[in-house]
Chains A and B, each alone.
Chain A
Amino acid sequence: MMPEQFWKILEITIMLALLIPIAATLVWVERRMIGIWQDRHGPNRVGPFGILQSLADLLKILGKEDWIPPFSDKIVFVLAPVIGAVCVLMSFAVVPFSPSIGVSDLNIGILFFLAMASLSVYSVVLAGWASNSKYAMLGGMRAAAQTVSYEVFMGLSVMGVVLLTGTFNLREIVLAQTDGWLIQSQFLGFFIFLVAGIAESHRLPFDLPEAETELTAGFHTEYSGLKFALFFLGEYLSVTLISAMSVVLFFGGWLMPAPLDTWLPPLVWFIIKIMGFVMFFILLRTSLPRPRFDQLLAFGWKVMLPLALFNLLVTAALKLSGVL
């Protein structure tokens, strides 16, 4: 085997081995942070500060009966959570973590990310359908409508970035921000991307496919054990992914302005920025109620889509006139 290929495979293995525990730790971080924001403790008993809570949960989940409901479509039922987790993990292949780390410098990086985001809808829709349960089906229906709508302008919102940098390659997009982050000119695009990202990862306030108080658990009502854990993993990985993509597209990836960049290694800066976004996601969950299904769709089509188009139009006009 060629040494480069060997190193690549090693890199992928390390990345997978790190991403999954990171997602698990994120569950604990979220629970502790929500605890703090809600004037209570959160899980603080297992290990120092409760950091081993996720491990304990994982062990418990592994010990559960791997139950497939007799009324479900068994193959699809098992496949659905796998699709979800795989799609999100695949997306990480195009994320440039630092000048030297990153699985692939695909020259259609953004398109690959969008494609994987679209594919991950199948996970939720198929789970809802295969469960053969009414709550799961309602959840699946909501997920399909929500994700299809919000995908449209998620794609449109990053086109401003593509226009300005002239590339779909994520590493080149980061390098193009050496003189200044794209948030300066693409704040509207960033806002739309973030909202769409929350909807894609169905987190509160856009957690309608699961909507605990309405649909009990929505599309994963019938799931338990390891398959449920995969959904859980997929959700937290996609929170990390959306945060990473926001950083790459709008906040200069691993880059930092002049005096700061020498203080810490680029990878650390990248992780710090991601954590900032993850905290924002968690804070959103503690503070906002959930809109109704039709209100969510109306907001998407009537507000976000025109805004995304407007952003693209103005960016194009400014680019042509040479202002940007």
Chain B
Amino acid sequence: MPNVDLKESKDWQMDSDISIIDEITTLSSDLNLTAVTAVENIVDDICTFWVDKNQLVQLMQVVRHDLTHPFDMCFDLTAIDETERQHKAAHLQDFTVSYHLRSYERNIDIRIKVGLSSADKHLESICAFWSNANWYEREVWDMFGIVFDNHPYLTRILMPQTWQGHPLLKTHPARATEMEPFTLPPYQQDKEQAALQFDPEAWGMKRQDDNNDFMFLNLGPNHPSVHGAFRIVLQMDGEEIVDCVPDIGYHHRGAEKMGERQSWHSYIPYTDRIDNLGGVMNNFTYVMAVEKLAGITVPDRAKVIRIMTSEMFRILSHLLFYGTFAQDLGALSPIFYMFIDREKLFGIIEAFTGARMHPSWFRIGGIAQDLPKGWEVLVRDYVNYLPKRLDEYEKMVMKNSILKARTIDIGAYSTQEAIEWGVTGPGLRATGYSWDLRKQRPYSGYDQFDFEVPTGNKGDCYDRCRVRIEEMRQSIRIIEQCLNNMPEGPYKAEHPQTTPPVKSKTMQDIDSLIPHFINVSWGPTIPAGEVFMSVEATKGIMGYHLISDGSTMSYRTRIRTPSFPHLQMLPLISKGQMVADLIATLGSVDYVMADVDR
């Protein structure tokens, strides 16, 4: 077991900012790209530039197809309502649409921004370049009312079809107390019910072909195998699926809107509930983004503790996946055995944090408490315990021939398709593509740890499960290294904006006492700027795109979740499947509706 020395650790840096813009302008010289200004204060190292809305399609053509190593993945697409912004760059208009693109070959990201005025909220759709832009553009329309011209089917995605207004506009109230009391009179209820009726023609589906009448089966939002409130409408010929339409939004809680009215610190518990199986993994992304924005350096001990608890939650999440996957296929017992394993691990989490599934335990600048006395014994017992159990499950689940027949070559997609549709995490690695954020772009000291990135080769249901099982073993390896190499020292940074600041100083020093007082009364004030940070979360890459306007609250909180694009590609992989295959596929994708809808 190698020694982990965090002093050697270096966070990954994205390089070659200027050359990308140069490369683009060489290929297409009439493109007018504007660099970002100092006012915007973008502290992450993603190369960002502005383009005029009329040149967007031309730019996307260059970026997607003409460049030598093109940007093959639309990582995120979102918008910002700039109307109440205090720290404004001169070129800022009423709305900004932000495209976050990734090139796997170059291993760099770019961010393209387009300004729009309130008078003309129209923009060309980019669905022709990236298939997964479809849902992102629908979301932006739903939330901001920005119309994407030539979009295949621009309709509400997270809000109900009957909803009036666009919730993420600054003019839209965020609190129930700012609105009329909610009522649902019978006529309104009938209207809502009618809006949920599926209309195949609207989606370009036929009700019958030459030989058959198709059956439209409404799977969900309450169905045992959709893992939450998720609806998928199947167009079926007998038991075979001809086409399907996933319908999301039943779990939408407005987490992004809440980010605009919670202090930087009090938003942490909300992050726990984004991927509700990921626990502190969600905190991890958010606090890293805030720390980057505020320029806070986290002590080594906090880093290692963060890694250790995050990996514990990876195991917790994957164990639940493993059990429910088997259960979806009809094997009723494994989930019960795995819940026992989870229970043991939750016991450790409880000893550390006092909570179980949603500890909200990370803080800006560190963690809430130091590890309890005797934590080593707990962790070491578990590290010795789990691998043996995994060996048993191997025989019970993965070697079962009925299970193999149900999952091998079912729901398969290629690496190319995965990238095209924005799939990340185990779903991408199952196709044989070894890309793990912890390896490719290490953060928080992951570069010092020794672990492997498991991959599959077919990208089918069986491989997706296999990859996750191996990831659990790797997580155990990482936890063991944390155990053997836990650095001594403080567990939170000595920075005025960490919450709460170091107690000993506030007792002696007025300059520490005042920030302490301010921090606990209205929360830390984070300097104006913009940042994007991501981690390799349990389901894929989760990222927080934060914009601060120099206030105690975030100006815009964008949460890029992995499950959202994963569900979007369901129609692609489920065509031609039987219903039972779809259930296997849904189980193997491992999504969480809270993570999809936010």
Contact = CB atoms under 8 A, between A and B. Distances in A.
A290 B405 CA distance: 10
A44 interface: no
Given A205-B402, A289-B403, A293-B580, A213 B333 contact: no
Contacts of B403: 289
Contact of A291 (B215, B223, B396, B402): B402
A5 to B, nearest CB: 47
A36 to B, nearest CB: 11
B225 A292 contact: no
Interface string A289-312: 111111100000000000000000
Given A134-B217, A289-B400, A295 B333 contact: no
A185 interface: no
A138 B579 contact: yes
A234 B400 CA distance: 30
Contacts of B217: 134-135, 138
A289 B330 contact: yes
A38 B224 contact: no
Residue of A34, A213, A286, A293 with most chain B CB atoms under a 10 A cut-off: A213
B331 interface: yes
Contacts of A135: 217
Interface stretch (B321-329, B433-441, B473-481, B524-532): B321-329
A212 B330 CA distance: 8
A37 B333 contact: yes
Given A138-B239, A138-B579, A216-B223, A291 B406 contact: yes
Interface of B: 215, 217-218, 223-225, 239, 326-333, 336-337, 340, 396, 400, 402-403, 405-406, 578-581, 583
A38 B332 contact: yes
Contacts of B224: 212-213, 216
9 pairs of A and B residues whose beta carbons are closest in the complex: A290-B330, A289-B331, A38-B336, A289-B330, A289-B329, A292-B580, A213-B225, A289-B403, A286-B333
A323 to B, nearest CB: 34
Contacts of A106: none
A231 to B, nearest CB: 18
Residue of B225, B333, B583 with most chain A CB atoms under a 10 A cut-off: B333
A205 B330 CA distance: 7
B580 A214 contact: yes
A134 B329 CA distance: 21
Nearest to A217: B224
A204 interface: yes
B330 A204 contact: yes
Nearest to B406: A292
5 contacts: A134-B215, A138-B239, A207-B330, A213-B328, A290-B331
Interface in A133-154: 134-135, 138, 141-142
A290 B406 CA distance: 8
Contacts of B331: 287-290
A39 B340 contact: yes
Nearest to B407: A289
B412 to A, nearest CB: 16
Contacts of A142: 239
A61 B327 CA distance: 27
A45 interface: no
A64 interface: no
Contacts of A287: 331, 333, 396
B583 A294 contact: no
Contact of A40 (B336, B396, B581): B336
B209 to A, nearest CB: 19
Contacts of B215: 134
A40 B405 CA distance: 29
A215 B224 CA distance: 9
A128 B329 CA distance: 22
Interface in A189-218: 204-205, 207, 211-216
Nearest to B216: A134
Interface in A28-62: 34, 37-40
Contacts of A40: 336
Interface in A144-192: none
B483 to A, nearest CB: 27
B423 to A, nearest CB: 24
Contacts of A215: 579
Contact of A38 (B330, B337, B579): B337
Contacts of A288: 330-331, 400, 402
A318 to B, nearest CB: 32
Given A39-B336, A39-B340, A285-B332, A294 B578 contact: yes
A10 to B, nearest CB: 42
Contacts of A141: 239
Given A215-B579, A289-B331, 13 more contacts: A38-B332, A40-B336, A134-B218, A205-B402, A213-B327, A213-B328, A213-B330, A216-B223, A289-B329, A290-B330, A290-B580, A292-B405, A295-B405
Contacts of B225: 213-214
Contacts of A134: 215, 217-218
A290 B336 contact: no
Interface string A91-103: 0000000000000
B583 A213 contact: yes
A205 B332 CA distance: 10
Nearest to A142: B239
A290 B333 contact: no
Contacts of A37: 333
Contact of A289 (B340, B402, B578): B402
Given A39-B337, A213-B583, A286-B333, A293 B402 contact: no
A37 B581 CA distance: 28
Contacts of A286: 332-333
Contacts of A34: 332
B326 A292 contact: no
Contacts of B400: 288-289
A291 B580 CA distance: 9
A302 to B, nearest CB: 13
A292 B332 contact: no
A135 B218 CA distance: 9
A211 B328 CA distance: 10
A270 B189 CA distance: 60
A291 B336 contact: no
A287 B399 CA distance: 13
A288 B402 CA distance: 8
A135 to B, nearest CB: 8
B405 A291 contact: yes
Contacts of B326: 289
Contacts of A204: 330, 332
A260 B402 CA distance: 39
A285 B326 CA distance: 13
B27 to A, nearest CB: 50
Nearest to B397: A289
A214 B336 contact: no
Contacts of B327: 213
A292 B405 CA distance: 8
B492 to A, nearest CB: 40
B580 A211 contact: yes
Contacts of A216: 223-224
B212 to A, nearest CB: 14
Contact of B579 (A205, A214, A290): A214
Contacts of A214: 225, 579-580, 583
Interface in A101-149: 134-135, 138, 141-142
Nearest to B222: A216
Residue of B225, B329, B580 with most chain A CB atoms under a 10 A cut-off: B580
A207 B402 CA distance: 14
B406 A289 contact: yes
Contacts of A212: 224
A26 to B, nearest CB: 18
Contact of B581 (A38, A207, A292): A292
